[in-house]
Homo-oligomer: A and B are copies of this chain.
Amino acid sequence: VEIKAWVKNKRDSKIGISFIDIYDGSCFKHIQVIANNKLKNYTKDILKLNSGCSIYVRGTIQQSTNSQFEIYAQSLQIIGNVFNPETYPISPKPHTLEYLRNFTHLRPRTNIIGAITRIRHFVSQEIHKFLSNHGFFWIATPLITSLNTEGSGEIYACALSKVYTFGPTFRAENSNTTRHLAEFWMIEVEAAFLSLKNIMNLAYEILKSIFKRVLKTCIDDLNFLAKKTNIDLINRMKNFISSELFSIEYTDAVKIINNSSGYFKSSFIWGEDFSSEHEKYLSDIYYKKPIMIKNYPKETKAFYMRLNQDKKTVASADILLPGIGEIIGGSEREDRLQKLNLRLKEKNLNPDNYRWYQDLRMYGTVPHSGFGLGLERLLSYITGLKNVKDLIPFPRTPKNASF
């Protein structure tokens, strides 16, 4: 075999044999190269190899007694040395995630960021595959825009029936939290002829399908992360896969919060939006499982969500995961032109800015529903890492755009 890779660790025995762990990022596991002092450049090169050097090895591959594969080197060349090893930021010793954020160009060489990158890839692949297999077409929505709604994907659903977008999204708020980025990736799914119930069932199915895929493809990465975070990631996902979507009404969630016997200092007033503390209480403490809350007061939600028959709530729903909070938000859209115009008025929005949206209700309107899923939040659940800054290659936060 021949392999080109980077050195992770090296151990030299006294009898002239070196054991070199190498990796190329293609999977979690490294592979061990065994090089002995019969190699011409053993003293000149191999004994001087440091963590981070890139090398080219030719040799034979053999299964060792503990059934790991090892490469017995017949030749070993250095491709790229590490100049000044003492300054190499990614030395083999453990580093904190905070420290690694200063080296976004080198941190993917670590076990942890490598694992996250592979998981992120397979999650994204599964999203594309699942939606394509279910008849959804990917739509590129523009970032340069004069709109301020979730409209572009919706527009195409009124022609192609099932569409989704998957791209970068921005948040212009000057706050620095572990749960928010200024630039993050979102999946938005929109389907004509589907109700809120239909679309949220699909949302739950896509989560299951993603978890199945990473359990199948990234098990070594997940085992490593489970140990690192001390969270039973594997069983948490397996339990989700065998679960069914559990939903409660917003109105009932309010009652549960107001019956929490002193957990919250003040009582919650119907019509307000839940804070992340309320959501945490409901999914982490009260139900201890993923839940969906539906039919929120119209005041808390956007104009385009469909007014329910009670005229107080809209057909909207959020899925909350223990430890994460809101992961998916969805709604059925207001497909009735007159009601839409009333809602625009209520929200003090200028109807002239929404002519395209009204057109879709004037010319062959259809019921349609959609949901949004934030990629980094989902990765937080899968990997157990709390800070979304570690879950995207180059995190952007207020006043930070380095690299």
**Footprint of B on A, CB under 8 Å?**
4, 6-7, 24-26, 52-54, 79-84, 88, 90, 104-106, 108-109, 113-114, 117-118, 120-121, 124-125, 128-129, 132, 135, 137-147, 151-152, 155-156, 158-162, 167-168, 170, 182-183, 185, 192-193, 335, 337, 356, 359-367, 392-394, 396, 401-403
8 Å CB contact of A108 from B24, B132, B160, B394 = B160
CA distance in complex: A124, B140 (Å): 10
CA distance in complex: A104, B156 (Å): 9
Contact A365 B80 (CB under 8 A): yes
**A26-B161 contact, Cβ under 8 Å, with A117-B137, A364-B52:** yes
**A141-B394 contact, Cβ under 8 Å, with A7-B364, A83-B363, A362-B84:** yes
**A402-B146 contact, Cβ under 8 Å, with A82-B364, A138-B124, A364-B53:** yes
Question: Which residues on the B side are within 8 Å of A84 (C-beta)?
Answer: 362
A339 to chain B, nearest CB (A): 13
Indicate the member of A25, A146, A365 with the most B CB atoms within 10 Å: A25
Question: Which residues on the B side are within 8 Å of A193 (C-beta)?
Answer: 4
8 Å CB contact of A183 from B4, B106, B137, B142 = B142
Contact A79 B365 (CB under 8 A): yes
Question: Which residues on the B side are within 8 Å of A113 (C-beta)?
Answer: 159
Question: Which residues on the B side are within 8 Å of A83 (C-beta)?
Answer: 337, 362-363
The 5 closest A-B pairs by CB, nearest first: A25-B160, A80-B365, A108-B159, A105-B356, A121-B137
A107 to chain B, nearest CB (A): 8
CA distance in complex: A162, B362 (Å): 49
Give 6 pairs: A residue, B residue, CB < 8 Å, sorted on A. A26-B135, A26-B162, A117-B139, A121-B137, A125-B138, A151-B403
CA distance in complex: A365, B367 (Å): 56
Contact A364 B81 (CB under 8 A): yes
Contact A159 B114 (CB under 8 A): yes
**A160-B26 contact, Cβ under 8 Å, with A106-B359, A138-B124, A152-B403:** yes
* Residue of chain B at shortest CB distance from A159: B108
* Residue of chain B at shortest CB distance from A396: B144
A8 to chain B, nearest CB (A): 11
8 Å CB contact of A155 from B105, B128, B151, B360 = B105
Question: Which residues on the B side are within 8 Å of A394 (C-beta)?
Answer: 140-142, 145, 152
Contact B79 A367 (CB under 8 A): yes
**A54-B132 contact, Cβ under 8 Å, with A141-B393, A403-B147:** no
Question: Which residues on the B side are within 8 Å of A147 (C-beta)?
Answer: 403
Question: Which residues on the B side are within 8 Å of A143 (C-beta)?
Answer: 143, 168, 183
**A364-B25 contact, Cβ under 8 Å, with A141-B394, A394-B141:** no
**A106-B393 contact, Cβ under 8 Å, with A80-B335, A168-B143, A335-B80:** no
Question: Which residues on the B side are within 8 Å of A365 (C-beta)?
Answer: 54, 79-80
CA distance in complex: A69, B4 (Å): 56
CA distance in complex: A150, B42 (Å): 38
CA distance in complex: A6, B52 (Å): 60
* Residue of chain B at shortest CB distance from A151: B403
* Residue of chain B at shortest CB distance from A217: B132
Question: Which residues on the B side are within 8 Å of A360 (C-beta)?
Answer: 105-106
A2 to chain B, nearest CB (A): 10
CA distance in complex: A401, B148 (Å): 12
Contact B402 A80 (CB under 8 A): no
Question: Which residues on the B side are within 8 Å of A132 (C-beta)?
Answer: 121, 125
Contact B403 A356 (CB under 8 A): yes
CA distance in complex: A108, B362 (Å): 16
CA distance in complex: A156, B80 (Å): 16
Contact A144 B183 (CB under 8 A): yes
8 Å CB contact of A159 from B25, B335, B401 = B25
